[in-house]
Structure 1
Amino acid sequence: MQLVQDPLVDNLKGLEVFRVTGPDDKMIRAAFIASSAEKPRGSVILAPGRTEYIEKYAETITDLLARGFHVLTVDHRGQGWSDRLGSTHFAGHLDSFTKAAEHLARAVEAVSDRLTGRRVLLSHSMGGAICLEALLVDAIPNVVGAAFSAPMWGILGPPGMKLLAKSLVVAGKAKDVAPSLPTMWQPEAFEANQVTHDLKRFARNNALMLAEPALQIGGPTNGWLDEAFKALASFTPARLSRLNMPILVVSAEGETIVDNSSHVRICGQLPNAQLRIIPGARHELLNETDAIRDQFWSLFDSWVGPLLAE
């Protein structure tokens, strides 16, 4: 299975890439790498955000390996090198967040015997919506805790976005990119970006996408938006109150993509959740400056240590 090569990816010796068939014969790309530690601490299931893919998370995987974890990650349903679902290859379409959670669960099942020790979920942005749904339906067994980086539990956008998306889905345009959003990916100037203060990491991600155009993805479709709003509306107090595992939510103070108020609301409805905010950070906490990433990993380490010691 193909990988885009760069120094961070090349350093992941033993990374195994494979494909998993989902609920409707669609395929997703997944990757597993075993810890080389004499006594691995457990396993992390890593769920990226919208537009993201395995190679982008090479640095995060390296950080987790250094902490003694086995790591499984995926290209979510409809993006990366997984089967695309939109009207064009580059349309950012997702037909169901429930199906995406099922697809993630099937990737876990494919390497279940190698995900030894206690299992922890670590997700970013859209991956946070997929993982929360997976937890609420108990799709992934033996998970002892979940950490969320800037989870997409609310979406910032213009008034009427939700109603417009639904009306366009009804009109048969579910697989088309939503109005006013880019149909194709193009590299953005660093000065205009809303996700990171780190020029080097920003440039690396642009380079990966330019090296492999098949990974590129444009704006979300009308159907993606409609399904996202349905998924977010399903995170009700009644469902959340039954999720009693330890949960860490880390918000970016300088957030402009997801709605941080949703983190406050949902954490208040989860029985065992803690919310932390990183000052000055933008949306992609795991792709930010060293100082901001260090703060995230410090929070993660303090939270996960007791879970593994129990």
Structure 2
Amino acid sequence: MNAQVDPNGPRLVNIASNPVPEGARPGYFMTSDRVRLRYALWPKSAGPQRGTVCLVQGRTEYIEKYFETIEDFRRRGFAVATFDWRGQGGSDRLIPNRTLGYVDRFDDYVTDLRCFHAEILLPDCPPPFYLVGHSMGGLVSLHTATRDRLMFDRMFLSTPMVGLHNMDESLGRSRIISETLSFIGLGHMPLARRGDRRPDEAMYPNNPLTSDMLRYKRMVETVRADDSLYLGSPTFRWLAAAMRGMLETRSDAFPGDIRIPLLILAAARDTIVSTPAIEQLGLRLRTGRHMVIPNGRHELFMETDIIRGQVLAAFDAFITEQTA
């Protein structure tokens, strides 16, 4: 295994099936509450300069998982800036068991994004800024958009975590249970799930993420090359924080507080987040709309070429053509 190394910063895992795109500038930055986060920047690779895509990931993810998608954006004339959320990837882990997903409050993720915008995007990246967010990153992006409509010119969200699959009616009860367990001192305890174990090729046939075997295998090989990227089960504290964040999107005021042009993509075969919840939010937006990608599983950017082609065509229509 080789690595892309900044003498004063982190490395990016570089393997044959998932090479680091040329021109990477990895580094660390510190949030306002003193959490060290790993980030990476890339310049555009073709065409006129169209601005910067700020790419934010889902739960358990890491910069390396998006190398292919980063190249897609760069070829369209966009610089790319991305980082690992607190508690995952190459950023600071927050509790002694670094394999468990933990956050004190969901607003801490909003702090991560706002600090990245202030500390890295504004001084180091060409404007305008376009946010692309997946799953949990999409939920963080929505919350950020209700508070500051000037950070990004447009938002493009893939399967945002505004609800969980088959939990639309029970999300409130689950939040109360998770918060109660956290209150009595069990917030660091995991909700153990079979799907949260380290990925391997044998898990592909029944995986909920992608129907593309080679891209699934690439995810497996990347974590196998650097096990420190692995993140497993969520803790009850993370669940309580995330469920509160999801439930807030259902308030009457929430959609109207989003004033940024927004396109949301849902996946027709998603069994991780709730496609009906995404559709309900999409119908209530004032400055945005949604669409459902047929046959797509949860990770649309990791799907087959046919499905990814639809996702990138939607990106082009909503983002790229606006910069031409």
Length-normalised TM-score, structure 2: 0.89
Distance in 2 between the 1:11 and 1:82 partners? Answer: 18
* Partner Cα distance (2:143, 2:188) in 1: 22
Is 1:308 matched up with 2:301? Answer: no
* Identity fraction in percent: 30
Is residue 2:55 matched to residue 1:46? Answer: yes
- Once the two structures are superposed, residues 8-57 of structure 1 have per-residue CA deviations (whole angstroms, 9 ceiling, x without a partner) of 65351111111111232111111111114463111110001111000000
Deviation per residue, 1:93-142 (Å, 9 max, x gap): 1222211121122222223233223211101001001111111121x844
What amino acid does structure 1 have at the position aligned with 2:252?
P
The 5 A counterparts of 1:131-142 are 131-138=141-148, 141-142=150-151
2:259 aligned residue: 244
Residues 1:25 and 2:31 are matched in the alignment: no
1:294 aligned to 2:309? yes
Match of 1:61 in 2: 70
C-alpha displacement of 1:227: 0.2
Give the Cα–Cα distance (whole angstroms) in 2 for the partners of residues 218 and 153 of structure 1.
21
- Tell me which of 247, 256, 267 is aligned to 2:282: 267
Contact 2:20 2:64 in 1 (8 A): no
> Per-residue deviation at 1:183?
7.2
Q: What amino acid does structure 1 have at the position aligned with 2:179? A: K
Other structure's SS at 2:66 match? helix
Identify unmatched segments of 5+ residues in structure 1.
Answer: none
Q: Distance in 2 between matches of 1:133 and 1:125?
A: 13
The 1:178–1:86 alpha-carbon spacing in structure 2 relative to 1, beyond 3 Å, is: farther
Q: Quickly say closer, same or farther: Cα 1:191–1:181, change in 2 above 3 A.
A: closer
Question: What amino acid is the match of 1:126?
Answer: M
Shift >6 Å, 4+ stretches: none
Give the structure 1 partner of residue 7 of structure 2: none
The residue number in structure 1 matching 2:214 is 200
Q: Does 1:175 find its partner at 2:185? A: no
Residues 226-241 of structure 1 aligned to structure 2 (within 5 Å): 226-235=240-249, 236-241=251-256
Change (3 A) 1:181 1:225: farther
Structure 1 segment 11-160 matched on structure 2, within 5 A: 11-37=20-46, 39-111=48-120, 112-138=122-148, 141-156=150-165, 159=170, 160=173
| Shift, 1:243, TM fit | 1.7
Partners of 1:8 and 1:61 in 2: CA distance: 15
Q: 1:85 to 1:142 in 2, by over 3 A?
A: closer
Return the alpha-carbon distance in structure 2 between the equivalents of residues 306 and 207 of structure 1. Answer: 35
Kindly tell me the number of residue pairs found equivalent between the two proteins. Answer: 308
- Cα 1:218–1:11, aligned 2, differ >3 Å: closer, same or farther? closer
The one-letter amino acid of 1:178's match is L
More displaced stretch, 199-208 vs 175-184: 175-184
In the alignment, residue 49 of structure 1 is paired with which amino acid?
G
Per the normalisation by structure 1, the TM-score is 0.93
TM-superposition CA deviations, 1:129-178 (whole Å, max 9, x none): 1111111121x844111001011011125655333312211121112212
Aligned residue identity for 2:101: G
Q: Which residue of structure 1 aligns with residue 6 of structure 2?
A: none
- Which whole-Å CA distance do the structure 2 matches of 1:283 and 1:127 have between them? 13
- The 3-state SS of whatever aligns with 1:214 is helix
Whole-Å Cα distance in 1 between the matches of residues 159 and 222 of structure 2? 23
Which stretch of structure 1 is more off in the superposition, 102-111 or 226-235? 102-111
CA distance in 2, matches of 1:219, 1:237: 32
Mapped to 2, the partners of 1:182 and 1:91 lie a distance apart of 13
Change (3 A) 1:183 1:172: farther
Higher mean displacement: 183-192 or 142-151: 183-192
246-255 or 114-123, larger mean C-alpha shift: 114-123
Equivalent-residue separation in structure 2 for 1:90 and 1:157 (angstroms): 26
